[in-house]
Amino acid sequence: MTKPNKSMGVQQCLIDADKETLFILEYLCEQSSKLYNSGVYFARQTLFKTNKLLTGKFDLAFEPSVAKSMVAQSLPSTPMQQTLMSVTEAFKSFKELRDLYIKGQLHFKPKAPGYLKGSKLFKVAYPNSGGQKPVIVNGQLRFSRLFDG
- The conformational region for residue 104 under phi > 0 = left, psi -120 to 50 = alpha, else beta, is left
Q: How far is CA 32 from CA 11, 51, 97, 99, 140, in A?
A: 19, 26, 26, 29, 22
Q: How many whole angstroms separate alpha carbon 120 and alpha carbon 34? A: 8
Asked whether the whole model's pTM tops 0.95, one would answer: no
Burial of 95 (0-12, 13-18, 19+ CB in 10 A): middle
Q: Which residues contact 146 (CB under 8 A, 6 or more apart)?
A: 76, 132
Tens digit of pLDDT per residue, the chain (149 long)? 556 666 666 667 677 778 888 888 899 999 999 999 999 999 999 999 999 999 988 889 899 999 999 999 999 888 899 999 999 999 999 999 999 999 999 999 999 999 998 778 999 887 766 566 777 777 666 766 554 44
Classified as helix, coil or strand, 62 is coil
Q: Which residues contact 125 (CB under 8 A, 6 or more apart)?
A: 78, 79, 82, 83, 86
